[in-house]
Structure 1
Amino acid sequence: MSSTIPVNPALVNWDGHQGLPRFDQVKDADFAPGFEAALASHETEIDAIANNPEDPTFANTVVALEVAGDELSRVSAIFWGKAGAHTNENIQALEREIAPKMSRHYSKIGMNEALFRRIDTLWEKRKELGLTVEEERVLERHWKGFVRAGAKLPKAEQERLADINEKLAGLGAKFGQNVLGDEKGWSLKLTEEAELEGLPAFLRDAMASAARERDEADGYLVTLSRSIIEPFLTFSTRRDLREQAFKAWVARGENDGERDNRGIVREVLALRTEKAKLLGYENFAALKLDNTMAKTAAAVNGLLRQVWEKARAKALEEEADLGRLISEEGKNHEVMPWDWRYYSEKLRERLFNFSESELKPYLQLEKVLEACFDVAERLFEIKAVEVKGVTAYHPDVRVFEIHDKDGALKALFLGDYFARSSKRSGAWMNSIQSQHKLPLKNGSTGELPIIYNVCNFAKPAEGKPALLSLDDARTLFHEFGHALHGMLSDVTYPSVSGTGVSRDFVELPSQLYEHWLTVPEILEKYAVHYETGAPMPKALLDKVLAARTFNAGFNTVEFTSSALVDMAFHTQGAVGDPMAVQKQVLEELGMPTSIVMRHATPHFQHVFSGDGYSAGYYSYMWSEVLDADAFSAFEEAGNPFDPVMARKLKNNIYSVGGSIDPEETYTAFRGKLPSPEAMLKKKGLAMVAEVSGGDA
């Protein structure tokens, strides 16, 4: 680095396997000086671009910006990866310090007058520059980024905007740490057989493993990891224990004390509203939706409200069915949220004559992962090869090389699949390094994509295979779909590489990939019993496929209520009591008392632990409209692996990143933009509908 500060070279000189960082050579204490030096180096590069005495050109300004800050990107990739997937008190303390500092750094760049003048000059004469489509998209991204950073604001308002962004960064870090703290801080220890009644062997094994991971010498732990809490709520016959565990699960971030997120939400909403007003937008939703396919809150709410009415009606039918089961048992209590999964599992057994516990022995993590790789090979002609003995950021992380059909290395993929107390909940994809083709100052040209998936599956007991639920298997396919978006990227410029697309398009490659999990020939090959190796019986396979829309009302109500609350927050603006707003929205919707939001506000990390999905949680459903229509193309071709459609899919969706407008690239693949009909049919909520005011 161009700094006199002593820095561990392993942070930026990645000379591990095929260019991986040497994670084992980086200590927690290395990050603070590493960030300090990388920030200083980036600032020097920015000053050189801004003060270049030559007239601005695309090469000396935009391309220079694209490759500036490589060292900062490298330090950040290692640090933020660890902060999410293997954190500790030292990392968390530095996260609270670094998040605002990074925000201030990028605010300063965005408000650099000389630099913006160069970008603005190029933007004004962009039609005269002879730019490619990708280059014009990159220029547009930089110009809009500067405007959103306040480049056109008076100095005083620029300073206020920088203050807001810095505060929001710190609040987002604290929000996420509070949720992790609540997840890590709660567990329910069970030791008596009567407390374990109804729990299948795979869940007992996972709970025993969780107990050992938390240094319990004996017993079984119910934790707030979704891979344990959801099956516990599904199978435990003990209604009192289900209620206790459920209430702890939904109360994350809402417990009085230092980890209470309600005050953070209030402050975040006020700051976001002020930020939007400073930038000339009516509200924060208008700011966030300005660069999406949906365009407006009216378009988003138009889709969500249509789906809500159908989903709510379906959920109330489902609730009545569950109520009849409760009555048959001679009980008279209402269906409460901690009852739903338990009785819906009983109903599924009755309707389709199979249970989750019957299915799980056929869904081994190893086999589902093999299925993921096989689908990618059939569709995109790439092959995954595991490399043993490569040290990653945690011993559980596995490393794979991704090769094309000629054997050339195209990407590295890291898989981190098991829950642990040092990892935040949920599942995600991220990149350690994004694909591009530009020359760098270290002498190399272009970079290999290095992509990782993080999940939170229950870790099995020693010597036993990890068994997944069908939802877990879908999650693995979903995240690998994101990974493919990064690994198949074939663009020139880093800022439009891979998942560098609009928020309501980014879920298309991931949600679309889920469809191949339940393609019969994939299940027939990879859904094999972990003890006998026998394939899933055809009768069971047929039942699984027949039950794909079971519980559709519940699942859609859970999601849609969360998306509608997100939009309400960000169209209303600053609120005195966010929980009162949540309550009001749910009451107006007629939210069934038997169901809760998938993500209640105090632990809604998509929206408040950073602003990635703020005013954007709807995007999963928007992309679902696209993915249902996209998979229909393969169904219409009569082959889920049709080579012509697969090539079009790769060339127009997975490889182009943000280098082309999403409406154009989707139309190039499919020939048209979709309506919600295919999505509603897939969910079992079929109706003919149009998206109000939108394009998808």
Structure 2
Amino acid sequence: MPTLFDNPLLLEFSFAPFSKIKNEHFKPAILRSIEIAMSEIDEITSSKEIPTFKNTIETLEFSGKQLDLVTSIFYNLNSAETNDEIQKIAQEVSPVLSEFKNDVILNKALFERVKTVYLQRESLELTIEQQMLLDKKYKAFLRNGANLSEAKKKELREIDKHLSTLSLKFGENVLAETNRFELLITKESDLEGLPESVKEEAEATATEKNKKGWIFTLEYPSYIPFMKYAKNRELRKELALAFGAKGFHNDELDNKQNVLQIVNLRYQRARLLGFETHADFVLEERMAEKPEKVKSFLSELLTKAKPAAQREFSELENFAIALDQIDRLEKWDSAYYGEKLKQKLFDLDDEKLKPYFKLENVINGVFEVANKLYELNFDEVLGIDTYHPDVKTYQVTDGENNPVALFYADFHPRPGKRDGAWMTVYRPQYIRNDKNFRPHISIVCNFTKPTKKSPSLLTFNEVTTLFHEFGHALHGMLADTTYPSLSGTSVYWDFVELPSQMLENWCYEQEALQIFAKHYESGEIIPEDLIEKIKKAANFHEGIATVRQISFGMLDMSWHGIDPSNIKDIKTHEDAAFEPTKLYPNVPENCMSTSFSHIFQGGYSSGYYSYKWAEVLDADTFEYFQENGIFSREVAQRFRDHVLSRGGTEHPMTLYKRFRGKEPQPDALLKRAGLMKK
């Protein structure tokens, strides 16, 4: 029987020891790490010394580091390489971790010591970063129930425990729904319109499942090409209905009750803490500050974008009717006819572009862009443990060969990985005892797989996704702060998307594309006329895309900016929230909320607006680069010094104005999107 001393998660390690970890190691390691963390808290509270910044705030900040390491490995695996056993463990340990968090935040003696230091803050001569840490620690106690009565603290604990398991269950159901559906096609005529590479991948999937024919799934690299190219409208409809009905089937994977319970518990929690709604609670610690400001922001953007979206929709519908005599444009037609119209208008389609975007070349390209901007070097290392053979590891160094970060990259879909793309952290950057601990950063994506005939060739959308996630990664890699809770991407959520969305701009620039967009067979650099077409097509259906993003932000606020207790029917509520942004006919069989993982499993509740909010910042930032050259070392250094390296050490607008010299102007976004004359 293994003991705690055999547990690789409880031994010292320089890198996550994936190959040594077994599922049975996780729960004992988490429970033991909680014990260690509680003993560290007890040391603070039992101290006879007068509370100081060092012996209370700083000691609290560095407590629980073992637990942070273990849980980061566990929850990252639960997203990127999960299985039934890991999911079961997650359901068991999440309430325990929630209870531990509350044991800390509701610890009266600890709060009194923190409060004592906070009340002396004016006389402590703290650095700006120390002031921010003190402010955040104190507010964390206040915002999470430190001043509640014992009865209300008990109620808060029950809510948090319940929420921790509900969010996990929501995500498990979405993943299970994604994995269980497959569209098996046995007649080759039903594949009409699909590129050879897509058919080859579908045939390989069928072979893997011991079936004859072609299998399409709800994973993005399978789903999106089918919706974009398959001529068979009924099959597009079948796939689209399955995709849009995840968690909406009145069966064991149904998420309707999970959604209702989550939003009601979040509301009850906010009220318990003295806030009007969950959105009021969340937005107090965001740049937007209030739900009214978010709603106003989304409404103003909708006013500017909707006329363009309606024009684009009418043009697309008329095009589809003229081409194929359909009666009306449905959601399962949008990608198909959108692609055909784009080809007609710009003579451009992804199949012409994909040969220039071999995954390995794009990876090297984003590394080269980072080198030109920030003098970073990326060297693949083979001796680092990984959790799957697909995962690549890189040592990141600066121009003087100093270590900057360890970088993990995981690019292809598989059954144990949730959909989408994300950046995550195994170890944050921080400074302790004069040593700068460099971060371990990872990006996880679901890109087109290589086949027997060709390497992994990315769609242009996948290229921009890679740059997006790498922008987040740079935010983590280039962190240079003292405290881990203020490091890297530990910033306001409506600021965190700035570095990621900003880096996407390089995908449209000739100077950058010529670095990495090379034909995978001939080595030919992407022709200038294709680059021109990419730039011309950049705003294709930008109105529709903008309204779509606004609709998601409005749906998020509709769940979290009100008292949800009277909502009985999820679909009815969702349809009402979507009404101001509606373009396509309603699909009764579909419901987005039951698979809206960003807000019900991830950290974006009351924060989905952040993507559009950050676009204002990113457009304004990139305009600054364009004025000085997209590879301007001077502008890049300013961005690194005042944004990327500073994490959450100051208010985001303070950092942004220091970098840019002024507040961001929304005009840059509207011009770039083609929604305003340049």
> What TM-score, normalized to structure 1?
0.94
- Of 364, 370, 377, 2:364 maps to 370
1:165 aligns with 2:163: no
| Aligned residue number for residue 385 of structure 1 | 379
Tell me, what secondary structure is at the counterpart of 1:418?
coil
Q: 1:595 to 1:330 in 2, by over 3 A?
A: same
1:577 aligns with 2:557: no
Q: 1:14 to 1:400 in 2, by over 3 A?
A: farther
| Aligned residue number for residue 536 of structure 1 | 526
Q: Name the aligned partner's letter for residue 426 of structure 1.
A: G
**How far apart are residue 129 of structure 1 and its match?**
0.8
**Residues 373, 636 of structure 2: 8 Å contact kept:** yes
Q: 1:286 to 1:97 in 2, by over 3 A?
A: same
Q: CA offsets per residue over residues 516-561 of structure 1, 9 Å max, x none?
A: 1222111122111112111112111111111100021221122110
| Aligned residue number for residue 34 of structure 2 | 39
1:228 aligns with 2:222: yes
Tell me, what secondary structure is at the counterpart of 2:40?
helix
| Aligned residue number for residue 607 of structure 2 | 616
Structure 1 Cα separation of the partners of residues 587 and 354 of structure 2? 25
**Residues 571, 591 of structure 2: 8 Å contact kept:** no
- Of 112, 115, 137, 1:142 maps to 137
- Of 540, 550, 573, 1:560 maps to 550
1:655 aligns with 2:645: yes
1:601 aligns with 2:596: no
Q: Name the aligned partner's letter for residue 663 of structure 1.
A: M
Structure 2 Cα separation of the partners of residues 282 and 548 of structure 1? 41
What does 1:154-193 correspond to in 2, within 5 Å? 154-193=149-188
| Aligned residue number for residue 351 of structure 1 | 345
Q: 1:73 to 1:212 in 2, by over 3 A?
A: farther
Q: Name the aligned partner's letter for residue 554 of structure 1.
A: I
**Residues 15, 384 of structure 2: 8 Å contact kept:** no
**How far apart are residue 432 of structure 1 and its match?**
0.3
**How far apart are residue 364 of structure 1 and its match?**
1.2
Q: 1:654 to 1:599 in 2, by over 3 A?
A: farther
Tell me, what secondary structure is at the counterpart of 1:660?
coil
**Residues 489, 655 of structure 1: 8 Å contact kept:** yes
Q: 1:314 to 1:87 in 2, by over 3 A?
A: same
- Of 426, 435, 452, 1:432 maps to 426
1:630 aligns with 2:621: yes
- Of 416, 432, 437, 1:422 maps to 416
**How far apart are residue 217 of structure 1 and its match?**
4.4
| Aligned residue number for residue 339 of structure 1 | 333
**How far apart are residue 227 of structure 1 and its match?**
1.8
**How far apart are residue 312 of structure 1 and its match?**
2.5
**How far apart are residue 595 of structure 1 and its match?**
9.6
- Of 626, 645, 656, 1:666 maps to 656
| Aligned residue number for residue 244 of structure 1 | 238
**How far apart are residue 446 of structure 1 and its match?**
4.1
**How far apart are residue 330 of structure 1 and its match?**
4.7
Q: 1:387 to 1:609 in 2, by over 3 A?
A: same
**Residues 24, 391 of structure 1: 8 Å contact kept:** yes
**How far apart are residue 13 of structure 1 and its match?**
3.3
Gaps of 5+ in 1: 689-696
Structure 2 Cα separation of the partners of residues 14 and 356 of structure 1? 47
1:517 aligns with 2:512: no
| Aligned residue number for residue 517 of structure 2 | 527
**Residues 371, 377 of structure 2: 8 Å contact kept:** yes
**How far apart are residue 367 of structure 1 and its match?**
1.1
**Residues 562, 597 of structure 1: 8 Å contact kept:** no
Structure 1 Cα separation of the partners of residues 587 and 635 of structure 2? 40
- Of 44, 48, 54, 2:43 maps to 48
Q: CA offsets per residue over residues 255-301 of structure 1, 9 Å max, x none?
A: 11111111011111111111111111111111000011111111111
* Higher deviation after alignment, 50-59 or 496-505: 50-59
Structure 1 Cα separation of the partners of residues 490 and 589 of structure 2? 29
The percent of aligned pairs where both chains have the same amino acid is 37
Tell me, what secondary structure is at the counterpart of 1:165?
helix
Q: 1:250 to 1:97 in 2, by over 3 A?
A: same
Q: 1:88 to 1:586 in 2, by over 3 A?
A: same
Structure 2 Cα separation of the partners of residues 542 and 595 of structure 1? 37
Gaps of 5+ in 2: none
Structure 2 Cα separation of the partners of residues 115 and 587 of structure 1? 48
**How far apart are residue 326 of structure 1 and its match?**
2.3
Structure 1 Cα separation of the partners of residues 654 and 478 of structure 2? 19
**How far apart are residue 210 of structure 1 and its match?**
3.2
Q: CA offsets per residue over residues 475-495 of structure 1, 9 Å max, x none?
A: 100000000000000000111
* Higher deviation after alignment, 510-519 or 341-350: 510-519
**Residues 450, 456 of structure 2: 8 Å contact kept:** yes
* Higher deviation after alignment, 247-256 or 171-180: 247-256
- Of 445, 449, 454, 2:444 maps to 454
Structure 1 Cα separation of the partners of residues 82 and 529 of structure 2? 45
Tell me, what secondary structure is at the counterpart of 2:561?
helix
Tell me, what secondary structure is at the counterpart of 2:504?
helix
| Aligned residue number for residue 77 of structure 1 | 72
Tell me, what secondary structure is at the counterpart of 1:451?
strand
**Residues 382, 402 of structure 1: 8 Å contact kept:** yes
| Aligned residue number for residue 474 of structure 1 | 464
1:641 aligns with 2:639: no
- Of 396, 402, 407, 2:401 maps to 407
**How far apart are residue 687 of structure 1 and its match?**
7.0
**Residues 298, 554 of structure 2: 8 Å contact kept:** yes
**How far apart are residue 594 of structure 1 and its match?**
7.7
Q: 1:49 to 1:591 in 2, by over 3 A?
A: farther
Q: 1:165 to 1:386 in 2, by over 3 A?
A: same
**Residues 202, 467 of structure 1: 8 Å contact kept:** no
Q: 1:168 to 1:7 in 2, by over 3 A?
A: farther
- Of 475, 478, 482, 1:488 maps to 478
Q: CA offsets per residue over residues 227-250 of structure 1, 9 Å max, x none?
A: 221111000011011000000001
Structure 2 Cα separation of the partners of residues 237 and 212 of structure 1? 24
- Of 502, 506, 511, 2:496 maps to 506
Q: 1:97 to 1:359 in 2, by over 3 A?
A: same
**Residues 371, 517 of structure 1: 8 Å contact kept:** no
Structure 1 Cα separation of the partners of residues 390 and 517 of structure 2? 23
Q: CA offsets per residue over residues 451-497 of structure 1, 9 Å max, x none?
A: 00000112121463111111111110000000000000000011101
**How far apart are residue 404 of structure 1 and its match?**
0.5
Tell me, what secondary structure is at the counterpart of 2:397?
strand
- Of 52, 57, 61, 2:56 maps to 61
**How far apart are residue 598 of structure 1 and its match?**
12
1:277 aligns with 2:267: no
Tell me, what secondary structure is at the counterpart of 2:377?
strand
| Aligned residue number for residue 11 of structure 2 | 13
Structure 2 Cα separation of the partners of residues 5 and 124 of structure 1? 46
Structure 1 Cα separation of the partners of residues 661 and 587 of structure 2? 39
Number of aligned residues: 675
Q: Name the aligned partner's letter for residue 624 of structure 1.
A: E
Structure 1 Cα separation of the partners of residues 642 and 591 of structure 2? 33
Tell me, what secondary structure is at the counterpart of 1:457?
coil
> What TM-score, normalized to structure 2?
0.97
Structure 1 Cα separation of the partners of residues 541 and 587 of structure 2? 12
**How far apart are residue 436 of structure 1 and its match?**
0.2
Tell me, what secondary structure is at the counterpart of 1:572?
coil
Tell me, what secondary structure is at the counterpart of 2:411?
strand
Structure 2 Cα separation of the partners of residues 77 and 12 of structure 1? 14
Q: Name the aligned partner's letter for residue 11 of structure 2.
A: N
* Higher deviation after alignment, 277-286 or 513-522: 513-522
| Aligned residue number for residue 119 of structure 2 | 124
